[in-house]
């Protein structure tokens, strides 16, 4: 049986703002916008992983 990863603390207000900001954008455009925001806030490098279902995941590059 697969174990579910624990959800990190998510700020509901930030999630709502991102939802509104990304409304109407393609999944890739949203991922690029989110990655740029993460670079500005956290510094460092982030990568975008494309999934077969058309979704994208933004994660820190190690």
Q: What is the pLDDT of residues 11-30, one digit of tens each?
A: 788 788 888 999 999 999 99
The structural domains of the chain, with segments of one domain joined by +, span 26-62
Report in angstroms the alpha-carbon separations of 34 from 3, 43, 45.
27, 13, 12
Q: Which residues 6+ apart lie within 8 Å of 60 measured at CB?
A: 38, 42, 44, 45, 46, 47
Rounded to whole angstroms, the Cα distance separating 54 from 28 reads 9
Rounded to whole angstroms, the Cα distance separating 49 from 46 reads 10
Phi–psi pair at 25, nearest 5 degrees: -90, 155
Which two tokens mark 27?
Answer: 């999944």
Q: Would you say residue 7 has pLDDT above 60?
A: no
């Amino acid at each position: 049986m697969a174990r579910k990863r624990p959800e990190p603390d998510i700020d509901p207000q930030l999630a709502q703002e991102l939802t509104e900001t990304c409304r109407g954008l393609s999944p890739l455009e949203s991922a690029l916008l989110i990655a740029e925001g993460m670079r500005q806030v956290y510094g460092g490098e982030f990568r975008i992983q494309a999934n077969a279902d058309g979704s994208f995941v933004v994660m820190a590059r190690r």
